[in-house]
């Protein structure tokens, strides 16, 4: 482990990863597989839905439906992580996620059909698939927080989260870039995206098999039955006081991001319709590069996540010197400003560079928001009592994600019935209010003072 005066390098989290205990290593490997599958597919689903006949407002409803799932799933996952931890449960959720990728894959083949006079459009199966595909991701949320808290010194929590996040988000880098390569193989997006979904199914199967075969369940402790609504109410009441300003600021920032996040791909592919056409010279030979907008978006996501991987670990180290709050606030500010920057790219770029060229630094800027992610997680779980990290995390995300539920529908309404510019501007204003609130009232975690 790096000493307190030793700078933390980009590859330090990977060195620590290989020294993890076997079960954590196995679960992290499974997380990598499912993250890869989810990131290959999820950011492109709005474009896929539009290709299947969905409107912008339906895309917004899809985002809101995802918010419902994000709100409902983490609390049971956090409660389970504190009480049990079964290989069979993980295997079940892995299979459900893989089945969800499968629903997305077959959606175009099902086509539209009528039931009792009501036409069922093929994009309906994208909603069904999301219920399943997000199972493993959201179920494991509380467990991830609890494992890192139990294995890390309180003053190094941000650094501990940086190690796991850097490894996991390597899948976030590889996934969209791999998707971009596959999307470029066929001119029809629905066909090329099915290639992507097929690969996601393969990774889901591999992740499920790896965790089922290699995970050692001998140390799992089986607890009593879930206590129901009373337990949830008690956890809400007992949430550490330090978390309340963070929760309010974070909720506003995430509400803002939720308004527009599902439309980022549509900004690139339909609003600006920017791909990449250029010639690359290498070794005396010239190669023509012709990327359609959807494939170009995949590479932009790769740029975003490459920057994220560069900044997360150093930012966690900086937090040990300046505190968690400034680093978290910086991440919130980038979240808030990015929608305004993205929707105004031509005005910001012209007359100096093309919109296509400007997209690269814009998405690189977006990657800076991840600088605050490890510190943000440390600030959530840090005040929790030992052994209650999963429930505190689940409670926090239950509250935040419940409030955020209608955000995408609101953004979809503004996008479809008013204008994309207004949707993105309102989102930026809400995000800046959340950032300002946290700066004014947010509290520092004692171990970092």
**pLDDT tens readout for residues 64-101:** 999 898 877 766 655 555 555 556 667 777 888 999 99
Q: Among 32-46, 152-166, 286-300, which is the least confidently predicted range?
A: 152-166
Six-digit token string for 296: 């170009």
The reply to whether 117 falls in a domain is: yes
Query: What number is the average pLDDT over the span 421-436?
Result: 98
What are the pLDDT digits (tens) for 41-71? 999 999 999 999 999 999 999 999 998 988 7
Residue 117 backbone zone (phi > 0: left; psi -120 to 50: alpha; other: beta): left
Task: Give the tokens for residue 211.
Answer: 């965790």
> Does a structural domain hold residue 142?
yes
Domain hosting 49: range is 12-218+245-448
Residue 63 has a pLDDT of 95
Interval 16-28: pLDDT, tens: 544 445 555 666 6
The proportion of the chain whose per-residue pLDDT surpasses 70, expressed as a percent, equals 75
Paired residues of 280 in beta bridges: 287
Q: Considering the domain boundaries, does residue 2 fall inside one? A: no
Range 363-387 average pLDDT = 80
Confidence of residue 434 (pLDDT cuts 50, 70, 90): very high
Instruction: Name the pLDDT band for 4 (thresholds 50, 70, 90).
Output: very low
Residue 106 domain-assigned?
yes
Domain assignment present for 420: yes
In a domain, 231, yes or no: no
Establish if 328 belongs to a structural domain: yes
Read off the pLDDT of residues 146-195 as tens digits, 9 standing for 90 and up: 555 555 566 666 565 666 666 677 888 999 999 999 999 999 999 999 99
Split into its structural domains, the chain has a count of 1
Residues in Cβ contact with 415 at an 8 Å cutoff, skipping those fewer than 6 apart: 56, 57, 59, 60, 263, 423
Residue 79 near residue 390 (C-beta atoms within 8 A)? yes
pLDDT tier at 330, thresholds 50, 70, 90: very high
pTM: 0.85
The pLDDT score that the predictor gives to residue 196 is 97
- Confidence at residue 2, expressed as pLDDT on a 0 to 100 scale: 42
Q: What percent of the chain has pLDDT above 90?
A: 48
Flag whether pLDDT at 386 surpasses 60.
Answer: no
Structure confidence by residue, pLDDT tens digits, 206-253: 988 987 787 665 554 444 444 556 766 777 777 777 788 999 999 999
Find the CATH number of the domain harbouring 319: 1.20.1250.20
Instruction: Decide if 396 is inside a domain.
Output: yes
């Amino acid at each position: 482990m790096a000493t307190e005066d030793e700078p933390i390098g980009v590859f330090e989290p990977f060195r620590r990863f290989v020294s993890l205990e076997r079960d954590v290593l196995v679960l992290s490997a499974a997380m990598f597989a499912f993250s890869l599958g989810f990131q290959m597919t999820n950011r492109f689903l709005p474009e896929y839905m539009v290709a299947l006949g969905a409107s912008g407002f339906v895309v917004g409803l899809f985002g809101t439906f995802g918010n419902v799932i994000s709100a409902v799933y983490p609390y049971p996952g956090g409660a389970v992580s504190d009480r049990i931890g079964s290989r069979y449960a993980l295997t079940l959720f892995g299979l459900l996620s893989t089945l969800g990728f499968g629903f997305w894959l077959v959606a175009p083949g099902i086509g539209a059909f009528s039931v009792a006079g009501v036409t069922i459009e093929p994009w309906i199966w994208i909603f069904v698939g999301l219920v399943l595909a997000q199972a493993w991701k959201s179920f494991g949320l509380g467990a991830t927080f609890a494992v890192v808290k139990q294995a890390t010194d309180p003053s190094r929590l941000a650094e501990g989260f940086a190690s796991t996040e850097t490894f996991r988000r390597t899948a976030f880098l590889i996934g969209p870039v791999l998707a971009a390569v596959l999307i470029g193989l066929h001119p029809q997006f629905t066909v090329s995206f099915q290639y992507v979904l097929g690969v996601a199914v393969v990774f889901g199967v591999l992740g499920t098999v790896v965790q089922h075969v290699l995970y050692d369940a001998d140390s799992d402790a089986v607890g009593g039955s879930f206590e129901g609504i009373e337990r949830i109410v008690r956890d809400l009441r007992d949430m550490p006081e330090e978390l309340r300003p963070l929760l309010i600021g974070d909720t506003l920032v995430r509400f803002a991001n939720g308004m527009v996040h599902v439309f980022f791909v549509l900004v690139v592919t339909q609003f600006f319709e920017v791909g990449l056409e250029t010639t690359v010279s290498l070794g005396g030979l010239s190669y023509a590069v012709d990327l359609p907008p959807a494939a170009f978006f995949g590479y932009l996501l790769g740029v975003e996540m490459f920057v994220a991987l560069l900044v997360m670990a150093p930012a966690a180290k900086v937090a040990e010197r300046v505190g968690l709050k400034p680093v978290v606030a910086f991440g919130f500010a980038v979240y808030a400003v990015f929608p305004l920057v993205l929707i105004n790219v031509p005005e910001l770029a012209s007359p100096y560079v093309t919109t296509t060229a400007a997209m690269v630094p814009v998405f690189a800027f977006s990657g800076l928001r991840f600088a605050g992610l490890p510190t943000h997680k440390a600030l959530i779980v840090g005040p929790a009592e030992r052994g209650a990290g999963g429930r505190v995390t689940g409670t926090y995300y239950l509250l935040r994600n419940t409030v955020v539920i209608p955000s995408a529908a609101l953004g979809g309404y503004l996008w479809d019935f008013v204008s994309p510019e207004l949707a993105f501007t309102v989102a930026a204003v809400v995000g800046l209010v959340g950032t300002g609130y946290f700066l004014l009232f947010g509290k520092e975690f004692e171990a970092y003072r």
